Structure 1
Amino acid sequence: MTTTAPARERGDARRPGGVRPPAPRQPGLLRVGLARTVFEVRGFARERDAVVFVFLYPVILLAIFATVFGQDEEVLAGSGVLFPQYFLPGMVATGVMLSSFQALAVAVAVERDDGTLKRLRATPLPATGYFLGKTGQVLVTSGLQTAVLLAVAALVFDVPLPDDAGRWWTFAWVALLGTATGAVCGVAFSSLPRSGRSVTAVVTPVVLVLQFISGVFFRFDQLPSWMQQVAALFPLKWLAQGMRSVFLPDGATALEPSGSWQHGATALVLTAWLVAGLVVGVRTFRWRRRDDG
């Protein structure tokens, strides 16, 4: 006669009466995303050189342009727009691009190269949670960077900030849409470099060229028409133009080639790049190095 071992000895997890206990409840995607965001922000804060560069780069550029062109000089005679005020929107836009597109393109490529992504793929962390964490970290750092830049512009260079809710609403949707677009495109672009060592050499020229042709370093209306047309294909031009509509007076539309702020076109182009980045990112994203199977 075969005897049956007690349930405790067999490792049976059932409760008395043969009823299994309910499986532990898995955390929701939002909770996972928030937890991953906190983790990513802490990791970014430990990279002191990156923190200094991300936060100081736009401020230094604004100080350079304000000094070179003069804090009390008008961009266009009779416009009432001084050089520090005109360049501020471009610095905000380029700061968003650095915090989103460039930062993620480099970070994801490096994490793929050093095996971090491969190890994460073997954990219970869902892929969506990883990307939510990256996007959340970009939103936090971009927001803090912009706040520092606006404070310096107002306190040091006497740049007037908007005083009505409508302009701040425009600032909010342009900044959020631009940051999301930059983050998605950065993740998609991270698959292009062959290794983490080459990613900076691939990303930096792209960023510099876009800055030069998108009205960040120069008045956009003074650039050659062919350059304006090329810039209009990329999101940074529209991000900078959207920011100019926030920080410049309505009369400054005379400095725009189109004669208007083109908010509809700004939203359309940024959304198109957001969707395109998602499609390309889903199709090309890799968790392993090219030589790792």
Structure 2
Amino acid sequence: MKEFNLNQELKNYAYIVFASIILALGIVGFFSPNKIITGGTAGLALLLHYITPFTIGTLITAVNLPLVIIGWKYLGKMFAIRTVITILIISLAIDFFDKVVNLNPFILEMPLASIFGGIFIGVGLALVIKGNSSAGGSTIVARIVASKTEIKPGTVILVIDSLIILSSLFIFEDTARVLYSIVSIYITTRIIDTILTGRLNKKVVYLVSKKTDELKKKITEQLGPEGTIIKGDGLFEGQDKRMILLIVEVNKLQVLRQMLKETDPEEGFLIITEATEMLGRGH
């Protein structure tokens, strides 16, 4: 059983409160006045708000709390408690800004509202995740479905968001709103990725060559000592293979290309992939 850490828990709730305020400002200041929606159950609550007399906060609570109760055992006790508290704070903050403060719209232009609304929602959701919590909704459904089937959580969330967007076609007469809603969802996902994984200017490079000893010496001299030599077997019996794994800054890739071209131009090659997240060594 994990030991309760008061300082960490206080830090979690600080993230949750700050995130809830940002989410509420994004919805009340950008989405609601421009009738743009976002993904997940927040988007569903916005859609229902446009066709019913209920407040956005009330609808977010009504949509999410039953899902949290159903998915309680899939979330874990502390995570579920934080999720319930997060949903309640977000709902109260939205209705506070909307009904009590009567917050004026930040902008009444759909293009700008979709961009900046997406940024606010992205920042808010990323901070919720940093607070070891969830804003409920599609995340819970995704966890339940993934535990019962072989469908990936990301696929479930994509399907839910798509269904919400398609449903909005029957509510909005202006299809431009639907398209700007898609823009806002895309921006939200990019912001979440950026905050949680950072903007790395590095690439993962697999360098395959029979001249790894020569390359190892040049790499150490010109790029630094960090790297790993991976040994393996080829498809043919008794065929030894060696590969160098490196994390290289983008501006040094050309140096590595030239190095390989000079050392093993006939058989050497590079495989370059994105480094989406790095942990350890100061990261």
TM-score higher than 0.5: no
Which structure features the higher share of helix residues? Answer: 1
* Structure with the larger RCO, 1 or 2 (CA within 8 Å, 6+ apart): 1
